[in-house]
Amino acid sequence: MFEGFTLEHIKLPEATLRVRHSGSGPPILLLHGHPHTHATWHKVAPLLAQTHTVVCPDLRGFGQSSKPPDTPDHAGSSKRAKARDNVALMRHLGFERFAVVGHDRGAYTAFRTALDVPQAVTHLAVLDAVPIAEALARCDARFAQRWWHWFFFAQPDKPERAILADPDAWYGNPMEKLEQMGEDAYADYRAAIHDPATVHGMLEDYRAGLGLDRQHDEADRAAGRKVECPTLVLWSLKDDLQDLYGDVLAVWEPWTTNLRGHALDSGHHMAEEVPEELAAALLDFLSGA
C-alpha cells in the first residue's frame, strides 16, 4: 500500500498529523472522510503521483493524527481549525499553493480551506458533499431518515458507547469492507474504529458540524463569500446526494465562481470503488481540459 510514498508524523503548530506523500509536480492534498483514514486513497494516490506531488494526511482527530482537546464549542474539531492544519502542512512540505480534494467529512474541510485561505488553494474538488449549511437548511424527513447519524453523533457520550460496543458491526459488513478496501487499508481503518480516542475524535467532527461549522458557512453566505478557484463536484449515483438534492451542482452554484461536476457510477466510497475513473476525473480537472 502506497509503494514509494514517504510516511511521516509531522508536528504542526496546532496538531501532529500522520502523512504519506510522494511524487513531483503540482501539489494535491487529499482529505478522507468518516470513518476512514488517509489509507482510503491508496488506489488513487499512486495514479495522481505520476504527474503530481500527492499529500495524504489523517485529519486531526482521525486515524493516527493527534486529537484536539475537548471544549464546549468543539472548536478544535471545526473545519476552520482543520483548514489551518492543511495550510501549515503544505507549507511545511514547501508548498504555498496547492489543490485540495476532499471526500465526505474531508470535503467540508477542503471547502473551508478554499473559503478561508483563497490565496493558498488553486483548485477545489468536493466528493459526495454539499455545504453543511445547505444540508441543514434543506433538512427534511428524507434527510433525517437517511442521515440520522449526523444528529445522533452530535449527542454527548452515547454515540461513543454505541460504536465501541461493536465497531465492526456498527460500520457495516466486515467482509464486504475488506474486499472493497484491500487488506492493508482495511487493517488501518479497523485500527481506527477500535480506538476509543479516535472514535471520540471522529464524533467531535460532527459536533462541530452542527455548531461552529454551520455558523461559519452561514456567516460566509451572508457576506457573499464564494470559492474563488475552479471547483469540481463529483457525486456517487449509488449514494444519497442526487436523491436528496436533485441537481447537485445547483446547490453548489451560489458558493462558487467557476463550477463543474458530474456523477460517477459508484457507491459512496468512490476512491476505493472506482479509483481509475476518479483519478481520471481529477487529472482532467487539474489540467484545465
Show the domains of the chain with their CATH numbers.
6-287 (3.40.50.1820)
Known active-site residue 268: yes
Which residue of the set 58, 104, 116, 217 is catalytic? 104
Read off the C-alpha cell for 70.
475537548
Q: Is beta strand 6-11 parallel, antiparallel or unpaired with respect to 16-23?
A: antiparallel
The answer to whether residues 198 and 67 touch, using CB atoms and an 8 Å cutoff, is yes
Tell me the pLDDT of the chain (289 aa) as tens digits: 999 999 999 999 999 999 999 999 999 999 999 999 999 999 999 999 999 999 999 999 999 999 999 999 999 999 999 999 999 999 999 999 999 999 999 999 999 999 999 999 999 999 999 999 999 999 999 999 999 999 999 999 999 999 999 999 999 888 999 999 999 999 999 999 999 999 999 999 999 999 999 999 999 999 999 999 999 999 999 999 999 999 999 999 999 999 999 999 999 999 999 999 999 999 999 997 5
> Residue 116: what residue type?
D
Beta-carbon count within 10 A of 175 CB: 9
Which residue of the set 92, 195, 240, 268 is catalytic? 268
Q: How many residues are recorded in the chain? A: 289
Known active-site residue 104: yes
pTM (predicted TM-score)? 0.97
Residues 70, 100: Cα–Cα separation, whole Å: 27
What value does the CA radius of gyration of the chain take, rounded to a whole number of Å? Answer: 17
